[in-house]
Structure 1
Amino acid sequence: MTDSPAPRAAKLLGFAGLVPSLTMVAALVLLPGYRDAAAVMGVAYGALIASFVGGAWWGLVSARAEPTAQPRMLVRSVVPALLAWLALLVPPASGCLLLAAIFASLPPMDRDLCRQGVAPAWWFGLRRPLSLAMAGLHAAAAAILVFSAA
């Protein structure tokens, strides 16, 4: 696996994708009257992004993975969406915590996709900070929701 810089458009769009989750955390802190709406929208967006990443994995694996590795990698690619769906079914604080765990668990698959030549060489270098930022933002939201409820 060799690192190469991600295309500028991928970087800009990837980091722009953090804006809704940043907005959720800011709204939870600064706009207490919108707390419930911010939490629900933040969980929904996080679930959408986790599903998006899994879908990207599915596409990469379907197109480029070795036939022997493909079934296992395809199974791994649907896990984020299935777990994210569960995040929509629980209270927002629990949903945020589950999403934080989901996002924190994504980098190993991104690394594996690069090591096996399935993803572009720049993939892991871009995906890791994005996944960890989403994990941190959802963990922060969960903490705010739990500790501001008292």
Structure 2
Amino acid sequence: MRTAFTTLSPSRFTALGYGGLLPFVALTLLFFWAAEYRDFLSFALVGYGAVILSFVGALHWGFAMMLQGLLANERQERLVWSVIPALIGWVSMLLPVQWGCLLLAFGFIGHLWQDRKLVNIVPGWYLPMRVRLTILVSLCLVISALVVFFDN
């Protein structure tokens, strides 16, 4: 099935997707090398994670509007899901950083589970990219949570 996304080059999406990893990786590395700034780094990491989780959730709003081949109940499910990542991100910012990081990691993993429901509708490059991004983002968040857990 041809969608609005099949005519677009995946290289643009790949570059932007992996570019979005840079703050996760940089902030996680700084947790080790700049411990004296960990409070600020924690705030930055959880805040960035919440924003990005909200962004990927909003993709499902777009999918609900644009993807051909979605049944009415599938379209409704995409719309409902699209706001849940923003709520998860907001709650993560209200928690102690280690719990916020873990909640965000679970949010990204849950979002990947939702993405997989679109396997037959999205272009073939989308899900493999989302799997890799989810693994790397979740790994950064879990490592950062563990550093904070064991540092306290």
C-alpha displacement of 1:9: 1.5
1:45 aligns with 48
Q: What is the alpha-carbon root mean square deviation over aligned residues? A: 1.7
Aligned partner letter, 1:148:
D
Residue 68 (1) aligns with residue 55 (2): no
- Where does structure 2 lack aligned partners over 5 or more consecutive residues? none
Residue 147 (1) aligns with residue 139 (2): no
Aligned length: 144
C-alpha displacement of 1:133: 1.1
1:103 aligns with 108
Structure 2 CA distance, aligned partners of 1:106 and 1:55? 11
Q: Describe the SS at the equivalent of 2:94.
A: coil
Q: CA contact under 8 A between 2:57 and 2:111: conserved in structure 1?
A: no
C-alpha displacement of 1:129: 0.8
Percent sequence identity is 33
1:114 aligns with 119
Structure 2 CA distance, aligned partners of 1:137 and 1:68? 35
TM-score between both structures, scaled by the size of structure 1: 0.89
1:80 aligns with 85
2:96 aligns with 91
C-alpha displacement of 1:66: 2.4
Structure 2 CA distance, aligned partners of 1:68 and 1:87? 29
- Where does structure 1 lack aligned partners over 5 or more consecutive residues? none
Q: Describe the SS at the equivalent of 1:75.
A: helix
Q: CA contact under 8 A between 2:64 and 2:76: conserved in structure 1?
A: no
1:133 aligns with 136
Structure 2 CA distance, aligned partners of 1:39 and 1:47? 12
C-alpha displacement of 1:17: 0.6
Q: Describe the SS at the equivalent of 2:25.
A: helix
